[in-house]
Amino acid sequence: MTALVMKFGGTSVGNAERIREVARIVQSRQGRKRIVVVSAMAGITNLLFEMAEAARQHDLDRAVQILSKIEQMHLEASRSLDLATPDIIGRIKEIVENLQRRIHGIDLLGELSPRTMDEVASSGERLSSILVAGYLGCPLLDARKVIRTDSHFGTARPKLAAIKKLAALHIVPLLESYDIIVTQGYIGSEDAGDTTTLGRGGSDYSAGLIGAALQADEIEIWTDVEGILTADPRLVPSARTVEVLSYQEAAELASYGAKVLHPATVRPALDAGIPVTIRSTFKPDGMYSTISPGESSGRPCVAIAMRRNVVIISVTQESMTDQAGFLAKLFDVFGRRGVSVDLVSTSEICVSVSLDKSAPLEALTQDLEKLGQVSIARERAVIAVVGDLLRKTPEVLRKTFIAIDGIPVDLISMGANAINLSLIVQEAQADRAVQNLHAAFFEEGER
């Protein structure tokens, strides 16, 4: 059986018009069995969290107000889609009434457990999927029957072997009778049957899991941009789609803030040898990116990524070289505070590490002062030049340094096996640095 998993994110199902477009795209993929995985309508998951939090703070008015907004959005979409039948309205109301009871329960207890939050949060996908399946006129499969997870509510970990069995039990027979089925992203259930979620943004993960379980031909992640771009288009209007990239490149870009998809979520699919493409519902015939198992961009620089809100902590210790175990002691400080260190650079007498600015800087400084003199550089950004062939291309270094000429660099890192060259600069200079680098790698005939 050749199967295609098509995942649509929140903006792709954000209103009636978008849902019609989703249906057009799904129907255009003739000749293949299609499993359509949908997110909640844009903004709904956030509203559900706000609603539950309001109930926990005993602000029932606000909670009820949010719920009624959620209900109206779905009822309105169902009317625009000509779906306002007693059956569909009844199913929407059923979820809304369940949420009403939850609100009162949370208010009564003044407590919001992760288990309850998952049940509440799952409503967004359960609602949007009713509309999408209704409009496509195809069966709706409750993802909780297939996506089996552990009981780590809020960020449940999937159980791959169980999912494979459950997919064979619940999806395969449906696909024998139907060409298209719809199911929810983000949600699953644990052994005892309670609802779990895979963590925020988890719908990509669901698509990857289902694709891997069914050994699909391809997983299409439909979003609002034309794949992964060579830079943030808000900074670099000429940024363009990266057509093919490796898993490592995608992972590296995501860790530096490229928001398109978190590649760890498609790992199960790539491990199963299934390519993942990232496409735009606004331009269904436009450009797209393919992350393919075993493939590479074949480029020294595939994209430039940037992340703000970085600080550098430096510890200077004149006699560091004589002290065996100095670095162990230093990293132990970060470890004990539960802070993950990003880049590291060491010289004879000074160690600098970069961190997110949300780290407990004061506490860290106090601890680190026992090891040496501590200084902090704030308002920094980390920029990464990423490409599989980066290290094999000495040219990259020359180009990089010419491009950022005149912009002070605080820290540089390029690991032995790394596919990225990272630079830390002042936040105020970061935009210009990205623009210059993009020009050097993508706008001067280096394709």
- SS3 per residue for 198-267: CCCCCHHHHHHHHHHHHCCCEEEEEECCCCCECCCCCCCCCCCECCEECHHHHHHHHHCCCCCCCHHHHH
CA distance linking residue 388 with residue 399, whole number of Å? 16
Q: How far is CA 423 from CA 19, 309, 327, 410, 413, in A?
A: 42, 14, 22, 7, 7
- Reading the block at residue 95, the tokens are 């979820």
Q: Which does 200 bind (CB under 5 to 8 A by kind): ligand ASP, Mg ion, none?
A: ligand ASP
Q: Closest CB to ligand ASP belongs to which residue?
A: 203
Establish whether 126 is an annotated binding residue: no
CA distance linking residue 244 with residue 250, whole number of Å? 10
Establish whether 260 is an annotated binding residue: yes
Establish whether 283 is an annotated binding residue: no
User: What residue ranges bind ligand ASP (CB under 6 A)?
Assistant: 9-10, 39-40, 45, 124, 185-186, 200-203
Is the Cβ of residue 186 or residue 256 nearer to Mg ion in the bound state? 186
User: Residues with Cβ < 8 Å from 207, sequence gap 6 or more?
Assistant: 5, 6, 7, 37, 185, 219, 221, 266, 269
Q: How far is the CB of 441 from ligand ASP (least distance, A)?
A: 31
Is the Cβ of residue 266 or residue 433 nearer to ligand ASP in the bound state? 266
Q: Which does 202 bind (CB under 5 to 8 A by kind): Mg ion, ligand ASP, none?
A: ligand ASP
Q: Closest CB to Mg ion belongs to which residue?
A: 10
Is the Cβ of residue 39 or residue 289 nearer to Mg ion in the bound state? 39
Q: Quick one: which H or E segment has residue 316? A: strand 303-316
Q: Which does 227 bind (CB under 5 to 8 A by kind): Mg ion, ligand ASP, none?
A: none
Nearest residue to 378 (alpha-carbon basis) of 361, 392, 402, 396: 361
Is the Cβ of residue 139 or residue 257 nearer to Mg ion in the bound state? 257
Q: Which does 124 bind (CB under 5 to 8 A by kind): ligand ASP, Mg ion, none?
A: ligand ASP
Q: How far is the CB of 276 from Mg ion (least distance, A)?
A: 17
Establish whether 7 is an annotated binding residue: yes
The neighbour count for residue 191, using CB atoms within 10 Å, is: 11
Is the Cβ of residue 51 or residue 424 nearer to Mg ion in the bound state? 51
Establish whether 382 is an annotated binding residue: no
User: What residue ranges bind Mg ion (CB under 5 A)?
Assistant: 10, 39
Q: How far is the CB of 221 from Mg ion (least distance, A)?
A: 12
Establish whether 125 is an annotated binding residue: yes
Q: Which does 288 bind (CB under 5 to 8 A by kind): Mg ion, ligand ASP, none?
A: none
Q: How far is the CB of 209 from ligand ASP (least distance, A)?
A: 13
CA distance linking residue 100 with residue 104, whole number of Å? 7
Q: How far is the CB of 128 from ligand ASP (least distance, A)?
A: 9
CA distance linking residue 417 with residue 67, whole number of Å? 50
Q: How far is the CB of 277 from ligand ASP (least distance, A)?
A: 17
Instruction: Tell me the HSE value of 358 on the side-chain side, using a 13 A CA sphere.
Output: 3
CA distance linking residue 308 with residue 349, whole number of Å? 27
Is the Cβ of residue 39 or residue 413 nearer to ligand ASP in the bound state? 39
For strands 195-197 and 187-189, give the pairing: antiparallel
Establish whether 10 is an annotated binding residue: yes
Q: Which residue has the tokens 């299609």?
A: 34
Is the Cβ of residue 204 or residue 232 nearer to ligand ASP in the bound state? 204
CA distance linking residue 359 with residue 339, whole number of Å? 6
Establish whether 259 is an annotated binding residue: yes
Establish whether 159 is an annotated binding residue: no
Q: How far is the CB of 124 from Mg ion (least distance, A)?
A: 9
Q: Which does 268 bind (CB under 5 to 8 A by kind): ligand ASP, Mg ion, none?
A: none
Q: How far is the CB of 8 from Mg ion (least distance, A)?
A: 10
Is the Cβ of residue 206 or residue 413 nearer to ligand ASP in the bound state? 206
Establish whether 196 is an annotated binding residue: no
DSSP character for 380?
A: E
Binding-site annotation: residue ranges:
7-10, 45, 125, 223-224, 234, 259-260
